Structure 1
């Protein structure tokens, strides 16, 4: 603070620092945040521009700062405001501040990933490790291995990877931001900027010119093995692709993975998706059910699945539920996926109910009892769907809507026989008593269970990932249209 008494400097007003007397200011010239009580506000400036000590230098007050300073300014504000209101770490600032500048300046944005990033680090000291199991040299069991390159699991790995990447960026005329060492920028001859933001092995590149993005990508590929993840939030056609095989085995084990996931807003993202699914998006049911099982300890692959769902939403903002007049009553569709959960081998129940050809009730959930066969899984699923049918029928009855007997469609003929014939008692007596409820209500005539082709059963989308053609057909069957 000893330099502030010499000459007046321009600064931006940021707010008030808790527990300190004075104004909190961002000074672009020194590229730092300062606390001062000696300020004069310039109320004629469009931005909250002010001068320290006096306001005599009007010309300096009208100066506009380079876009690189705007980046630093935005990131600094994001880091320092109340954590309950604004981003509390770099990962959140990465999403909310630089992305804001992308929108403000209409920049092109590209998402890249460095494959096996930590293996690119160069070790600066001698590190030894025990011979790995299965690769022990005979008669030299007491020897150790001298590492020639960085490995995952080393405490040095993240730092050494960053130093290698930083050296590469500075050698290509990029400057490192003084306030956040993971933000790089380069000014082109035409006055435009290229921005690169790094978070562990993920990076975003933004600039006005697509050619500049291609140039930077080519430079990166010369040095590192890269994976091009395409434009940010590039739309996809299904809520969850079949290549996602989610399980708890994908949860983080190593310290660097745990640290990475600690900055990922997994819970809040899944919560937002769950809200959308419950309110108006039955097409998300299976996908949200899958990712919500790993809220306690999500891994990178789980997070990629969440990002996939968000990309699906990006491409389906126009779809909606469409209701119309009809004489038809409540119709239900039910399906099960035997042992679909890879962790506990639990089966999945999925059902949808429509009125007037449009879906009004839906559910995708794990069964609480482990089924021993596909038939048992379907039997337990149809019981859950029948309970929903009875509730809907009672609801509409009290609303003075006299609906016909509800029909529940199932694509398993063996289950339909099981619900109507007690001859199969020996094969089902181990099933929880509550699941036999369906037999009683069918015998009373409260609901009718009918066979439907698997290809015409929209509940299929509630229990598994489907090809795009089948998935879109399921949506059509329940009145979910653009």
Structure 2
């Protein structure tokens, strides 16, 4: 360099390896590439910058903003390698044996142009200097190329969505032939010929290509990943559903258009080559390919590439727009919208309703995987509380070979497209209002592998669902409050976007209400100063506080049983989607109404063993008073093998379940197997624990046990034993027990537990006759000193830190009050007084509202102790009339029958 310039250099920092690849910055439109590839060739005198050769535009450029890739120059290539590579490229090109004759054609503007050979762009011949000093002889230290630290690269989120669509495409295509030969062999070959000829006519009218034979598979080049990132913008399914909701609400006209050969209207900067279409090859030029002629046409993308949904109050406006579009593009008028993206649009103008359904798509999915009318159907694919984990994956080669034949991923992927589009089905009804309403929910540590929680939210407009999502949270929540708080943040973000979208459509939303079923999460979102338990939460989740303070979104409380987003966070029982009342069993009830007769009844038993032992849930369902009872469930932590399990006479689970009494046997029978006619009602047989300690109950049917009537198992305990049940055919004699007495003394117990290291104890219930008052006695320890509200709640589900127990037990629809008030919730018991040592005592605590027998029995429901004092509905707070403003739940237990 000094010899060339005749000057001594002062700084060598700008020197780069001659001929190395370089990328220089360009300042084109925001959708264009940010940099272009070139080759470094030197410096330009008098200019502070690098001189580069642009490979694409074939010109010299000078730029200061350049990134060099000097490391790629280190790979040495021998002349033999270059020769082999040249031969490889030449072998891919099919040339005519005849001498080259220039091909002329007339362009769109009428001028004649001559196509010249450009093989030199693909085949480069040069000599590599042979030097005795090879790469291996040089000190390796001179060839260490360091790189800057880079952030972790994660798989793009859009890739997952595309995978869902990819699974669905084989079904959506409606058996469309994917090759020219299949189209001609199909039953509709004549129609396919007409369509192809129409397509070719459009291509010729647009003067799309000219024939040339001078291409060495140019379309095989792979510059970057997406070749300058050409893309087609598409609409979100949520936007389609919102548009249809407004169509129903305002009785708008709805039409659909399709742009013919929409890809021809793009403004391309590169030369595009393609093989001549089958059936339309030009005689004598079979080895030629088509090269796209550039023009100044634009591409218009409305909604989903070339599919358009047009809506207006006035049909004339739609027709005028159709004519406008037809003047620019060759359009296909599809009339009233009936189908888009695999979704069928059904409309009832008389009733002002619009439905989106994928019935035909789902039928094709069933056909694809061999499902027909003879296939056994089930109402719920997974039992409630059933969770999958990596421990269920195949371990042996035999299991892996078996699962390789099961199309599990294809089935799930095909159904996922249905989830994205229309499940639950949309139904927009007339005069349902324009207010957008949201609901959010979260489970707690539902993912067994990563122990992360699942966020779910839904939004409704005009009475129908328009947006929903179910996604695993990115961080681990330490409590249900944190999980619900993060779920509320995601719902608020969606609410902001929906508010803006509806504003653009002329449907102004002053604010959007988002309902959450966790009171603690709501307090956390509204309290700007409280941070003791949230200082570790990522700052992005505190976005919800600012939005709520601004009033754009209103966060409100809703009961769990009325929260539709609950279905997006966990498996649900079938009856959850109907109008049936829910109850629980032997340990846990699920709704606040008396036990139904002649209707479906549902129950749950939350199973816990010794520390580090078995855990899980068993769900019970009974259809009518005389219908069989069906069990579904999942347990883990069991020793492998068979384990007897039975319903016992009492619900007292103290003393390692030994206080639960004998098997439930109201008819004084002997012990037997589940199939025996004469056996204990509570004899259920054996559970099988696999080698991983998991046990499953799927559609386990029993004709003896009942959830209703005098022999109901509600409030009794279900017990799992260490060894296998011999069904009375071994040497063990069974014991006897009786049903729930009526008109006699009844005893019950609630074993109270809180968080780890928190409150513990027992409360005993006693009732003399059906109409006598109920007396409570008990002792608890580990409570914070002071007053704590305690109440009987509607359900007996003690999961999720007692938040699944529902609201106060209130069968007569009263307001909250004190124990002495005549008109109050049946479950309102007042306050527990805890001394300075954390102890609380109940001695002959009498209540005239709660009952252990009859239609409003509290057996099987939960008793809950709260953090704060109950204000008896007189505190003036928003929740005083419903909860007594008693704060979060810190301990609970299910009220079960005591041995007698």
Greater relative contact order (Cα 8 A, min sep 6): structure 1 or 2? Answer: 1
- TM tier, smaller: 0.3 to 0.5
Higher percent of residues as strand: 2
TM superposition score normalised by structure 2: 0.23
